[in-house]
């Protein structure tokens, strides 16, 4: 029991200062529980935007270019990213727990690029808790006759886990091998992800009508970078996505396959958080590459 001697009477009631009732800066997330919001705030920060660094490619592709040695290529970039998206295998074997970066844990696993993509199952619920994940990511293959139902079940099962433990879920829209998708497709896929409980949705950027994808998805959208393209084009892609209302990027190859990944990730951050135009960001990339 607390010592009652010299007990200080309560007197600082701040009578004329109403308790602040703050909203939550992320779209569609105001009604979530404290733990969910706290984890989302770690990923999206004060400005509600995020540069997520994706390096989960090995779970379906093996050691593709740039992620052969994640200790050498990705770990030095962590200080520039707002969040790391990776598998539990890479997290435990390579990522220093002291890095103190929010983790979006790849939470489904299954087939490789050699067979039917996206024939995945969800990893054990407790894993995300054990590794202190700030979010869990699962793939959905909308429109894939073989895998659509299974991957949607993966998503809503993961949302059940997330709700139980207060961990947000990112629904990752898969494009499969054809890679030809338009705004109509992504409106459908991203909306399905959100309606089934995803708190964040990862989409691809499309040239025509991406703003309609963002507008009709009730939770934040981050874009994947996709295949490696020239740095100036990748910065332009990020800029246009942000202008259309995206909350950030979950970018992999266009960072770690860049001629200068450290310069590239800082230039992307300039677009996401600093509002840099593609020209200014590319200039930054070139300056940092000198
Ligand atoms: C796709 O499922 C993977 O989760 C990648 O993390 C994602 O595609 C982002 O990487 P990239 O920018 O290389 O497309």
Q: Look at ligand 1, atom 6, and give the residue with the nearest C-alpha.
A: 54
- Cβ–ligand 1 contact at 253 (below 6 Å): yes
Residue 289 · residue 260 · CB < 8 Å: yes
- What is the residue with the minimal CA distance to atom 9 of ligand 1? 224
Q: What is the pLDDT of residue 7?
A: 78
Please name which of 184, 136, 181, 195 lies closest in space to residue 161, comparing C-alpha atoms. Answer: 136
Tens of pLDDT, residues 234-244 = 999 999 999 99
Is the model's pLDDT at 149 over the cut of 90? yes
pLDDT at 109 over 90: no
Q: What is the pLDDT of residues 9-49, one digit of tens each?
A: 999 999 999 998 888 999 999 999 999 999 999 999 889 99
Query: pLDDT class for 102, splitting at 50, 70, 90?
Result: very high
176 CB near ligand 1 (under 6 Å): no
pLDDT at 2: 62
Residue 247 pLDDT level (bands cut at 50, 70, 90)? very high
- Would you say the CB of residue 102 lies under 6 angstroms from ligand 1? no
**CA 40, chain centre distance (Å):** 10
Which atom of ligand 1 lies nearest, measured to the CA of 251? 12
> Is 202 in the active site?
yes
Active-site residue, from 202, 227, 228, 290:
202
Q: Give 135's strand partners.
A: 104
Residue with more model confidence, 103 or 113: 103
Residue with the smallest CA separation from ligand 1 atom 7 is: 224
d(CA 70, CA 89): 12
Ligand 1 and 226: CB distance under 6 A? yes
Please state, for a pLDDT cut of 70, what percent of the chain lies above it. 97
Whether residue 176 is predicted with pLDDT greater than 70 in this model: the reply is: no
pLDDT over threshold 90, residue 175: no
Tens-digit pLDDT profile for residues 194-204: 999 999 999 99
231: left (phi over 0), alpha (psi -120 to 50) or beta: alpha
Would you say the CB of residue 202 lies under 6 angstroms from ligand 1? no
Q: What is the mean pLDDT of residues 70-80?
A: 98
| Confidence at 177, pLDDT banded by 50, 70, 90 | low
Assess whether the C-beta atom of 225 lies below 6 angstroms from ligand 1. yes
Is residue 208 packed enough to be buried (19+ CB in 10 Å), middle (13-18) or exposed (0-12)?
exposed
Residue bearing the CA closest to ligand 1, atom 8: 224
Q: 107 CA to middle of ligand 1, Å?
A: 14
**Is the pLDDT confidence value at 1 over 70?**
no
What residues are paired with 121 via a beta bridge? 109
pTM over 0.85? The answer is: yes
Q: Looking at the predicted structure, is the pLDDT value of residue 230 above 60?
A: yes
Q: From CA 188, how far away is CA 191, in angstroms rounded? A: 5
Q: How far apart are CA 203 and CA 254, in angstroms?
A: 16
260 pLDDT more than 70: yes
Indicate which atom in ligand 1 lies nearest the CA of residue 55: 6
């Amino acid at each position: 029991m607390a010592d009652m001697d010299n007990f200080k009477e309560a007197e600082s009631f701040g009578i004329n200062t109403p308790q602040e009732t703050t909203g939550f800066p992320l779209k569609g997330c105001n009604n979530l529980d404290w733990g969910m919001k706290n984890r989302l705030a770690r990923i999206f920060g004060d400005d509600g935007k995020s540069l997520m660094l994706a390096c989960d490619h090995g779970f379906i592709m093996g050691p593709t270019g740039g992620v052969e040695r994640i200790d050498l290529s990705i770990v030095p970039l962590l200080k520039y990213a707002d969040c790391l998206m990776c598998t539990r295998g890479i997290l435990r074997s390579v990522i220093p727990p002291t890095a103190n970066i929010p983790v979006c844990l790849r939470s489904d696993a299954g087939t490789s690029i050699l067979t039917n993509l996206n024939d995945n199952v969800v990893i054990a619920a407790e894993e995300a808790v054990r590794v202190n994940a700030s979010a869990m990511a699962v793939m959905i293959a909308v429109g894939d006759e073989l895998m659509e139902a299974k991957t949607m079940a993966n998503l809503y099962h993961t949302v059940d886990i997330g709700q139980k433990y207060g961990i947000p879920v990112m629904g990752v829209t898969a494009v499969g091998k054809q890679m030809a998708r338009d705004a109509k497709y992504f409106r459908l896929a991203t909306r399905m992800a959100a309606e089934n409980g995803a708190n964040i949705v990862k989409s691809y950027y499309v040239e025509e009508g991406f703003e309609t994808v963002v507008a009709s998805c009730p939770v934040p959208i981050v874009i994947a970078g996709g295949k490696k393209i020239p740095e100036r084009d990748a910065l332009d892609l990020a800029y246009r996505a942000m202008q259309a209302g995206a909350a950030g990027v979950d970018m992999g190859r266009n960072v770690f396959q860049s001629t200068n990944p450290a310069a590239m990730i800082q230039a992307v951050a300039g677009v996401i958080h600093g509002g840099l135009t593609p020209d200014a960001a590319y200039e930054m990339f070139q300056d940092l590459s000198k």
